[in-house]
C-alpha cells in the first residue's frame, strides 16, 4: 500500500507565537495612528508653503546728531574807497570858483576872509549845494611882517585877541560848516595858541580840518581831545603846479584811497590854479569809474 505524502505547513498555518507578535505590532501601530489622526470634530489646517521673504531694502542709518559750532557772523559789505578834495585859497578869482562849481563832483570850498570875492563865492557855493569852510590864516615859519595878512593869527597874540579875531573871521563867511588853517606851520605847533581858536569852533558847532602844513602840528590831536569833530589832510595835489604832475598826484590819491590806509577815506587839498582845474576835470571821472566815491569833506570826519 502506497504511503501517504506528508503535508507541508503552508501559509495557512500559523503558530501561536507568530500570531501574538503580529497582534502586538498592530496594537502599537494603532496607538501611534491614534496620536496622529485628529480627534472627532477637530479641523486640520491645510498646509501652505511659506512665501519667500521679500527683498529687504537697506536700513537707513541716521548718524547721531553732532553739536555744530555756530555760524560766523556775516562779513560786512566792503565800503567803497572814498576821497574828499578841499579847494583852498578861494576869494580872489571868482571865475576859477565858477569852473570848480561846474564840475559834477562835490568839491569842498575853503574861502579866505577879507578878499574881494569871498562873500560872492560863498553864496555861489551855497547855490550849487557845496560845503563851505573858512580858510583861517595862521602864522607860518619864516613869516615876514612886511606881508602881514590883516586877519592872520599870530603866536605872540594873547588868548583874548585870538578869541576875538577868530570870531571876526567866522562872521565874514556865511554858511560855513567848518574851518581849516591857511599856512600855520608855526601856529599849529603851539597848543596854547590853538586852544582858544578851537574853543570858538566848538562853541559854534564847527569842525576842524588840520591842513598839516607842519609835521609837528598838534591841531588835529588837540581838536579831538577837546571834543570837536575833526580830521587832517593826507595829501597835497598841486605843490608842483604842472598839469602832468597834478594828474600823477590825483591818481596817487586814488591808490591811497583803495589801500589799507585809506579805509576811512582820504582828504586831499588843492588850489584854484588853472592847471589844477584842468587836471581835476580830466581825472576825477576816471576815479569815479574805478569805483572811488568822491564825497564832501564832512563825510570823512572822525
Residue 7 lies in a domain: no
Residue 138 lies in a domain: yes
Residue 236 lies in a domain: yes
Rg of the chain (C-alpha set)? 54
Q: Which domain holds residue 236?
A: 82-300
In this structure, the number of other CB atoms found within 10 A of the CB of residue 205 comes to 10
Residue 66 lies in a domain: no
Residue 156 lies in a domain: yes
Residue 82 pLDDT greater than 70, yes or no: yes
**Containing H/E element for 269?**
strand 266-270
Residue 257 pLDDT greater than 70, yes or no: yes
Residue 139 lies in a domain: yes
Number of domains in the chain: 1
- pLDDT single digits (tens) 173-225: 999 999 999 999 999 999 999 999 999 999 999 999 999 999 999 999 999 99
Assigned C-alpha cell, 77: 559789505
Residue 3 pLDDT greater than 50, yes or no: no
- pLDDT single digits (tens) 101-149: 999 999 999 999 999 999 999 999 999 999 999 999 999 999 887 676 8
Residue 262 pLDDT greater than 70, yes or no: no
Residue 74 lies in a domain: no
Q: What is the CATH number of the domain that holds 255?
A: 3.20.20.370
**Containing H/E element for 280?**
helix 274-289
Helix (H, G, I), strand (E, B) or coil at 180: strand
Residue 10 lies in a domain: no
Assigned C-alpha cell, 50: 511659506
Please name the residue that has the C-alpha cell 562779513.
75
What pLDDT, on the 0 to 100 scale, is given for residue 145? Answer: 72
Residue 279 pLDDT greater than 50, yes or no: yes
Amino acid at each position: 500500500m502506497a504511503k501517504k505524502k506528508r503535508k507541508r505547513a503552508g501559509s495557512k498555518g500559523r503558530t501561536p507565537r507568530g500570531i501574538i507578535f503580529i497582534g502586538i505590532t498592530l496594537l502599537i501601530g494603532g496607538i501611534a495612528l491614534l496620536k496622529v489622526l485628529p480627534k472627532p470634530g477637530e479641523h486640520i489646517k491645510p498646509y501652505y508653503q511659506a512665501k519667500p521673504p521679500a527683498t529687504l531694502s537697506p536700513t537707513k542709518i541716521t548718524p547721531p546728531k553732532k553739536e555744530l559750532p555756530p555760524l560766523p557772523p556775516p562779513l560786512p559789505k566792503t565800503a567803497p574807497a572814498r576821497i574828499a578834495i578841499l579847494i583852498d585859497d578861494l576869494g580872489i578869482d571868482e571865475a576859477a570858483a565858477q569852473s570848480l562849481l561846474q564840475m559834477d563832483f562835490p568839491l569842498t570850498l575853503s574861502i579866505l576872509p577879507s578878499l574881494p570875492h569871498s562873500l560872492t563865492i560863498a553864496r555861489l557855493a551855497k547855490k550849487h549845494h557845496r560845503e563851505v569852510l573858512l580858510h583861517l590864516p595862521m602864522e607860518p615859519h619864516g613869516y615876514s611882517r612886511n606881508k602881514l595878512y590883516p586877519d592872520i593869527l599870530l603866536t605872540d597874540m594873547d588868548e583874548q585877541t585870538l578869541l576875538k579875531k577868530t570870531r571876526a573871521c567866522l562872521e565874514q563867511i556865511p554858511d560855513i560848516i567848518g574851518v581849516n588853517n591857511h599856512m600855520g606851520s608855526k601856529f599849529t605847533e603851539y597848543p596854547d595858541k590853538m586852544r582858544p581858536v578851537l574853543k570858538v569852533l566848538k562853541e559854534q558847532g564847527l569842525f576842524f580840518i588840520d591842513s598839516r602844513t607842519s609835521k609837528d602840528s598838534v591841531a588835529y590831536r588837540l581838536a579831538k581831545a577837546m571834543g570837536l569833530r575833526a580830521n587832517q589832510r593826507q595829501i597835497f595835489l598841486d605843490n608842483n603846479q604842472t598839469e602832468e604832475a597834478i594828474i600823477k598826484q590825483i591818481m596817487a590819491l586814488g591808490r591811497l584811497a583803495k589801500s589799507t590806509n585809506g579805509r576811512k577815506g582820504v582828504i586831499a587839498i588843492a588850489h584854484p590854479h588853472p592847471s589844477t582845474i584842468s587836471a581835476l576835470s580830466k581825472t576825477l571821472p576816471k576815479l569815479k569809474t574805478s569805483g572811488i566815491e568822491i564825497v564832501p569833506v564832512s563825510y570823512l570826519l572822525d
